[in-house]
């Protein structure tokens, strides 16, 4: 991206959780391309996070840093925003992207699975937002939650995940009311953008795409563009959930 296009987020600091890989990495790259300094959070993917940060710093020295944290640990939730502020001197945007996803068919759900999915998809965004709020209030910043269309429409065999993402949707709206006027809080709900890393039957993929208005899958870049929209072009938008799903919610019956 040309240098003149980087201006909208120049001097802003963005923390993206779960940013070493997949959608999180693309979101981090998009913010960096628009001039932001980027804090890349990771839990296990140290090599990928290191490579991403190295590439950003090669393009713009001192513009990125990696932060390792287990967001299931209370002390880490408190410490991560403080570490980012200590490194960059500020925090303007918190992107709650880190997520855990796996099936929990009713009849087999365990308490450990429930706690794991709720911790990753709802609890961590809440307590990270709370920890970051004083600095975001000072900077009149933005919290951006990466939800899921299945927080708006349940996914079979994923009842706990769907419930946790539904909670994140309501958390977005609740925080928008509580943290305004200084902090805006919005969410993006991706649809068929990336298939699960564990794999998915090809015929099932085709059926999902067939029930999508645009008749194709999206890309991580589509999600990243929505994130940049909220950060640069939506100063009067808060409490909103934007489905980036190619019209999947408008499609036919769920699988």
Determine, yes or no, domain membership for 223. Answer: yes
**Cα–Cα dist 182/176, whole Å:** 10
The pLDDT of residue 167 is 98
19: domain CATH number is 3.40.50.720
Q: Report the candidate in 162, 254, 247, 169 with the shortest Cα–Cα distance to residue 212.
A: 247
Q: Which residue has the higher pLDDT, 254 or 104?
A: 104
* Per-residue pLDDT at 2 exceeds 50: no
Determine, yes or no, domain membership for 255. Answer: no
Give me 33's structure tokens: 């391309």
* pTM, 2 dp: 0.94
Determine, yes or no, domain membership for 253. Answer: no
pLDDT band at 3 (very low <50, low <70, confident <90, very high): very low
Structural domain boundaries enclosing 79: 3-247
pLDDT band at 252 (very low <50, low <70, confident <90, very high): low
Determine, yes or no, domain membership for 225. Answer: yes
Q: What is the mean pLDDT of residues 214-226?
A: 95
Task: Catalytic residue, from 161, 187, 188, 246: name it.
Answer: 161
**Cα–Cα dist 49/70, whole Å:** 14
Per-residue pLDDT tens for 173-202? Answer: 999 999 999 999 999 999 988 877 765 566
Determine, yes or no, domain membership for 138. Answer: yes
Give me 179's structure tokens: 């943290």
Number of domains in the chain: 1
Determine, yes or no, domain membership for 252. Answer: no
Per-residue pLDDT tens for 141-161? Answer: 999 999 999 999 998 899 999
What is the rounded end-to-end Cα distance, in angstroms, of the chain? 39
Q: With beta carbons less than 8 A apart as the criterion, state whether 248 and 192 touch.
A: yes
Determine, yes or no, domain membership for 86. Answer: yes
**Cα–Cα dist 213/199, whole Å:** 23
- Torsional class of 83: left (φ above 0), alpha (ψ -120 to 50), beta (otherwise): alpha
pLDDT band at 211 (very low <50, low <70, confident <90, very high): confident
Instruction: Based on the residue annotation, tell me whether 161 is a catalytic residue of this protein.
Output: yes
The pLDDT of residue 148 is 97
Determine, yes or no, domain membership for 234. Answer: yes
> Which residue has 């997520």 as its token pair?
99
**Cα–Cα dist 224/25, whole Å:** 9
Q: Report the candidate in 66, 61, 31, 62 with the shortest Cα–Cα distance to residue 51.
A: 66
């Amino acid at each position: 991206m040309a240098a003149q296009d980087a201006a909208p987020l120049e001097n802003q600091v963005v923390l993206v959780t779960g940013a070493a890989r997949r959608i999180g990495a693309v979101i981090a790259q998009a913010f960096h391309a628009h001039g932001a300094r980027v804090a890349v959070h990771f839990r296990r993917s140290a090599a990928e996070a290191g490579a991403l940060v190295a590439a950003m710093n090669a393009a713009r020295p001192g513009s990125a840093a990696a932060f390792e944290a287990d967001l299931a640990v209370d002390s880490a939730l408190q410490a991560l925003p403080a570490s980012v502020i200590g490194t960059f001197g500020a925090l303007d945007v918190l992107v709650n992207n880190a997520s855990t996803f796996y099936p929990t068919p009713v009849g087999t759900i365990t308490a450990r699975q429930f706690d794991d999915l709720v911790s990753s998809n709802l609890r961590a965004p809440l307590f990270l937002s709370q920890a970051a709020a004083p600095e975001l209030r000072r900077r009149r910043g933005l919290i951006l939650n990466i939800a899921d269309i299945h927080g708006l429409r349940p996914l079979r065999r994923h009842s706990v995940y769907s419930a946790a993402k539904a909670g994140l949707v309501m958390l977005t709206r609740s925080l928008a009311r509580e943290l305004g006027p200084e902090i805006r809080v919005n969410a993006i709900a991706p649809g068929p953008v990336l298939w699960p890393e564990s794999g998915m039957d090809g015929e099932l993929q085709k059926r999902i795409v067939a029930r999508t208005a645009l008749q194709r899958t999206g890309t991580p870049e589509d999600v990243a563009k929505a994130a940049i929209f909220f950060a640069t072009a939506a100063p009067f938008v808060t409490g909103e959930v934007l489905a980036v799903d190619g019209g999947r919610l408008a499609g036919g019956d769920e699988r």
